[in-house]
Structure 1
Amino acid sequence: MRYVLQETANRLGFDDLALHEVPWQQLQPGHVTALVAALREDGYTPNTSSLYVNALRGVFNEAWRMSLISQEQLLKLRSVKAMAGTRLSQGRNLKRSLIRDLLDACAADPRPQGLRDAAIIALLYGTGMRKSESVNLDLAQVDFSERSLQVLGKGNKQLIKYAPAWAFERLQAWLNCRREQLPDGLGDDVFLFNRIRRGDHITRERISKHAIYYIARQRGLQVGVRIMPHDFRRSFITRVIEDHDLSIAQKLAHHSNIQTTAQYDVRDDNERRRAVDRFDL
């Protein structure tokens, strides 16, 4: 969000000012309209346009709370809409065979990274959790008997995620490796996944979100596909919709709106064609 606001300030002519020096309270509806038009001209998607507008709305709300703008001015600023429209999802539906290939690639890696990456992939795909949720996982949040994980999700909400047995097997293998690698019986760090440095050295540092991107990209390259971390969540939700229904998928994804869940359905065109072909006379 900081990057979005700095980019917004640059586009509005405040590129010589630091973010906290920009006179946000002096902006008029015309500035927001011009920003939306510029984003459209530069080929930005409607979702990105909404992100920029929502960032500004957050600033305007705070300006109103601080009595820097009137309520009338706030309403005028908030009346400017982002770019209308939608775009097809760029996400990938990771088939079960591809997940098995990814886990096999990890298993073939004799380094600690192999076991750690397999556990991360297994939890991302097996629970549908977000990358930030996996990074922030602590060992105390894991219940091995119930095969459940307590995560802190979006909106500061505590959620319970359930994982299949095969995912917990990968997680247990990683934890066993960590206990063996770290000296003096200090193998049980408070967090779940450690950063591993060059030379296969397991550090006492928590893994970062950037590392999750790197793991998805590198393991994807090993099996010949381009993978983003959120593809695991998309694939989890798509599979639940396929095997069960949209309502169950909504509950497991912890979406407050079922329409959000429906947007995660990334089944390919062949499956859509087969659905239409079943409409025989």
Structure 2
Amino acid sequence: MTPFPDADDRASSFLPANPVTGGAALPSLTGDATTPVNPAQAYLLSLNSLRSRQTMASFLNIAARILGAGDLTACNWAALRRHHVLALTEILRDAGLAVATINTYLSAMRGVAMEAWMLKLMDVESYQHIQAIRQVRGNALPRGRALMGDEIRALFAACEAETGSIGVRDAALLAIILGCGLRRSEAVALSYEDILPADRALKVKGKGNKQRLAYVPDGAWQRLLYWIDQVRGEAPGPLFPRIRRHDVVTECRLTDQAVYHILQVRQHQAGLKKCAPHDLRRTFATALLDNGEDLITVKDAMGHTSITTTQKYDRRGEDKLRRARDRLIIS
């Protein structure tokens, strides 16, 4: 395989302008990419979930284009070296990407390098040099927000104002996401068989195919029962299916993107400022912590592996800062 041209580790030594990011450009990585197994594809297969594969494939395609290849399948990953990864992170930093996003790219590069080494396409020294690259450091304002009580009530009022099946379904869907802190992918993956009436709970499949029980609060449970009793029925299949025109309830499962669209429509009807499905999850975590629940309980409820991840969902500090601001008197 033809390796990358030699270059200095600093991004400034590369060509000036990249069509993907607008930052510095890298030498083309379009050498011999006809290996029996593509390291990037091998890395994607090693990931646990389809969603993770889709996300990382998107990142790798962008990285491949920055490196001068058409996509991840045409990229000569075996020729990847430390200075290319360093320059890639610098380009992404110059493009204004968040620290967490840049570190996700770095994680993908490390994963691909590991697969290239395991496939005997990369020497151990080059592999170790890539693995030794430190994550980018920096602090950024937390993403998203937690909804206030009046916003939540307005959201459900918007659903209830619509006559027909769609309003009932949307109210139940948003109530379950909000009341159980589900990811939108977890919500649409639910089936009727996942309901556990005796425990007033749902059997949820989270990231990495890890299952957990989500205990449903009373208000969300009542909205779910109303949706089942009045519209959906008790047939097996998706808990929240698509509804076509003229209130035709299908057997097709909603998609992640459909949940995003539903929330966008309902927040517009309710006159709310912008929020995303994940903000409902942040609202759930913040409410539990505000009620005095400990971090470990909240971590388990959200399906997190690390308490550190759970802490990022806590928006109580922002409310305290707002109240402190309102108490200040500046004359």
- Whether these two folds match at TM > 0.5 is yes
Aligned partner of 1:81 among 134, 151, 173: 134
Match of 1:130 in 2: 183
Q: What is the distance in 2 between the residues matched to 1:158 and 1:236?
A: 19
Structure 1 residue 97: Cα displacement: 2.2
Structure 1 residue 88: Cα displacement: 0.8
Q: What is the distance in 2 between the residues matched to 1:33 and 1:234?
A: 33
Alpha-carbon contact 2:62-2:71 (below 8 Å) kept: no
Distance 1:259 1:275, change over 3 A: farther
Distance 1:268 1:109, change over 3 A: farther
Distance 1:260 1:102, change over 3 A: same
- Structure scoring higher RCO (CA < 8 A, sep ≥ 6) equals 1
Does 1:197 pair with 2:250? no
Match of 1:5 in 2: 60
| Structure 2 letter corresponding to 1:265 | D
Does 1:119 pair with 2:172? yes
Alpha-carbon contact 1:47-1:86 (below 8 Å) kept: no
Alpha-carbon contact 1:116-1:174 (below 8 Å) kept: yes
CA deviations 1:190-217 (Å, max 9, x no partner) are 1111012334332220000000100111
Aligned partner of 1:235 among 264, 280, 283: 283
Aligned partner of 1:161 among 207, 214, 236: 214
Q: What is the distance in 2 between the residues matched to 1:220 and 1:78?
A: 44
Alpha-carbon contact 1:135-1:208 (below 8 Å) kept: yes
1:1-281 matched pairs, under 5 angstroms: 1-14=56-69, 17-179=70-232, 188-225=235-272, 226-247=274-295, 248-267=297-316, 269-272=318-321, 274=323
Structure 1 residue 236: Cα displacement: 0.3
Alpha-carbon contact 2:237-2:251 (below 8 Å) kept: no
CA deviations 1:157-189 (Å, max 9, x no partner) are 111111112111111121223346xxxxxx614
TM-score (norm 2): 0.76
Distance 1:277 1:115, change over 3 A: closer
SS of the residue corresponding to residue 87 of structure 1 reads coil
Structure 1 residue 64: Cα displacement: 2.1
TM-score (norm 1): 0.89
Q: Deviating runs (4+, > 4 A) in structure 1?
A: 273-278
Match of 2:20 in 1: none
| Structure 2 letter corresponding to 1:13 | G
Q: What stretches of structure 1 of length at least 5 have no aligned partner?
A: 181-186
After TM superposition, the structure 1 stretch with the greater mean CA deviation from structure 2, 55-64 or 133-142, is 55-64
Q: What is the aligned-residue identity percentage?
A: 37
Q: What is the distance in 1 between the residues matched to 2:322 and 2:190?
A: 40
Alpha-carbon contact 1:91-1:266 (below 8 Å) kept: no
